A and B are shown apart, each in its own frame.
Chain A
Amino acid sequence: MIALVAAPFGLKPYGIYLLSLWVVMTIAAIGLNLTLGYAGQISLAQGAFVGIGAYAAALLTTSGWPLWMAFLLAIALSLAIGWLLGYPALRVQHHYLAFVTLSFATLVFLMLRNEEWLTKGVYGISGIPRPTLFGWAAKAPIAFYFFCLGILTLVSLATWWLVRSPWGRAFTALRENPIRADSLGVDTRRYTLMAFAIGSALGGISGVLYAPLVQFIEPTAFNLNLSLNLLLMVMVGGSGYFLGPFLGAAVSVLLPEWARFGSDALYLIMYAIAVMVLMAFCPSGLLGLAHRVLKR
């Protein structure tokens, strides 16, 4: 924790940007980890919700509205749409559910790209301002990093509370044995929809932070690749582990950059091979691997 607070002070702006990006992606990954890791519902649509949040923030703040309104709008939208996305999960599971969420994500991308009257399409929205908090302008890279870190802390605390509450237990039951859960009075339908809604809302929050971070957004950033990347983060970090998303996002955002210093051309190839080897030997991710090692 202390490392996170101290980290940006020695870094150049690009380093601080990366750190902030890691924070933002972690929030989205926490959401996906909730839906997938805890509740066992596969979603390939998390990237779309980041997009929804980002565009909500971009459109509102460039028109002069404050960022907290963007948060409210993004959360409301993501909750509602996420809840609706949960309905297919009541009918189909696993790879079929993956395809449905994949289609949804691509549809959102198409809408973001085509509805130029709203989103300016492929031209994107630029000049997204950073927020001012009670007079303190979070404009400089370091200041904005701390703003993001603050939001991450809030999100983490809320998620920790959720996961340790009876709801968390119900989500685990939903993942491990939905039939048994049903017979014990767990309303599996409601909890499934909730898992989607909350996970998606976190994606939206992530998007609201993403827009002012990069200050220029366009639809391609939120296509299927982002959803797949978030899935990779959750699986590599360790699906269902609380700290999994933190680790997974670090691997996905920071590792390729760090490896770039070692070998300019081959870093992506090495990253790809590393991911494949990890999945072969420890599908429960890095934290699963650590767990296994510690148990001995």
Chain B
Amino acid sequence: MNPVLEVRDLAKAFGGIRAVNGVSFDVREGEILGLIGPNGSGKSTLFNCILGQLAPSAGEVRIDGRGITGMRPCQLNRLGVGRTFQLLQVFPQLTVRENLILAGQEHQKSMWGRLVGRRDAGLGEAADRMIEFFRLSALAQEKAGSLSYGQQKLLDVAMAFMAGPRLVLLDEPAGGVNPTMLAGLRERLREINAMQRATFVVIEHNMEFVMSLCTRVLVLAEGRIISEGTPEEVRADPKVIEAYLGG
């Protein structure tokens, strides 16, 4: 069975700095792949190259066998790829419900269809379900800008799932979320992964979060993959320990 995501020899250089230096890996359907590594190892750059935010210097990316290198983010989204951002990115002036409807609306019919069709693009119930799923019901009509940081994070994640994507790349979803919410977040992610048969790639610094959520883990250091395997294998790998502690 074809992997959902294939990355081959991806490289990205900024001037003389090689942020990503020849990275190749596959992600199979339904997997939750963790991507860890010390600061500056190139994780976010890798994401941005896969997702069309940056143009890679070399290499290619395929989704379901289809080359997507260099596609614009909105095109990727329509192919079924979603993402969350490291820096919080919700729409502060829209309500929570509106944020979610926006997140899914560009998949409904055509642009002109959206002009004359229903106000909520037929997504009202889906948005409500998502709100309930992420336990945000009390905040549905609040402007997103007035939510707490952790709540905005949950909204951010929820938005990535509105369009029912096949592949979701999450950039530090646990960052800044308090421990009580963290457990809930992990549960929600596991549930969605099972429900939608979606595939995840997760960048994280929170070791406990990654190890308890992911089925497989890649370790990146200085733009290269230095280790790969189940959470337990990677945790015990001496190369990994050295990358984090060594200098």
Contacts and interface: CB of A to CB of B under 8 A. Distances in A.
Interface of A: 162, 164-167, 169-170, 172-173, 176-177, 179-188, 190
Given A164-B119, A165-B115, A184 B92 contact: no
A240 to B, nearest CB: 8
A170 B105 contact: yes
A166 B85 contact: no
Contacts of B90: 177, 180
Interface stretch (B106-114, B177-185, B197-205): B106-114
A183 B50 CA distance: 12
B85 A180 contact: yes
12 contacts: A165-B117, A166-B102, A176-B91, A177-B90, A183-B76, A183-B83, A184-B106, A184-B163, A185-B77, A186-B74, A186-B106, A187-B74
Given A165-B119, A166-B105, A177-B91, A185 B114 contact: no
Contact of A167 (B85, B89, B114, B159): B114
Contacts of B163: 184-185
Contacts of B159: 184
Given A166-B105, A166-B119, A167-B114, A185 B93 contact: no
Nearest to A179: B89
B91 A173 contact: yes
The SS class assigned to the A binding surface is helix
B20 interface: no
A166 B121 contact: yes
A185 B107 contact: yes
A39 to B, nearest CB: 13
B136 to A, nearest CB: 18
Nearest to B109: A166
Nearest to B88: A180
B119 to A, nearest CB: 6
Contact of A187 (B82, B89, B111, B121): B111
Contacts of A170: 102, 105-106
Interface residues of B, number: 35
B189 interface: no
B103 interface: yes
B78 interface: yes
B73 A169 contact: no
Contacts of B85: 179-180, 183
Given A180-B89, A184-B106, A185-B74, 16 more contacts: A165-B117, A166-B101, A166-B115, A166-B119, A169-B101, A170-B102, A170-B105, A172-B93, A172-B94, A183-B74, A183-B83, A185-B107, A185-B163, A187-B111, A188-B74, A190-B111
Interface in B50-107: 51, 53, 72-74, 76-78, 82-83, 85, 89-94, 98, 101-103, 105-107
A287 B93 CA distance: 16
A167 B112 CA distance: 9
Given A183-B73, A185-B106, A187-B106, A167 B115 contact: yes
The 10 nearest A-B residue pairs measured at CB = A185-B77, A185-B106, A180-B89, A166-B114, A182-B73, A183-B73, A166-B105, A166-B121, A176-B91, A169-B102
A179 B102 CA distance: 14
Nearest to A169: B102
A31 to B, nearest CB: 17
B127 to A, nearest CB: 12
A177 B163 CA distance: 18
Contact of B77 (A176, A183, A190): A183
Contacts of B93: 172, 176
Contacts of B119: 164-166
Contact of A162 (B82, B107, B115, B117): B115
A182 B74 contact: yes
Nearest to A175: B93
A166 to B, nearest CB: 4
A251 B90 CA distance: 35
Contact of A180 (B91, B98, B120, B121): B91
Contacts of A190: 111
A170 to B, nearest CB: 7
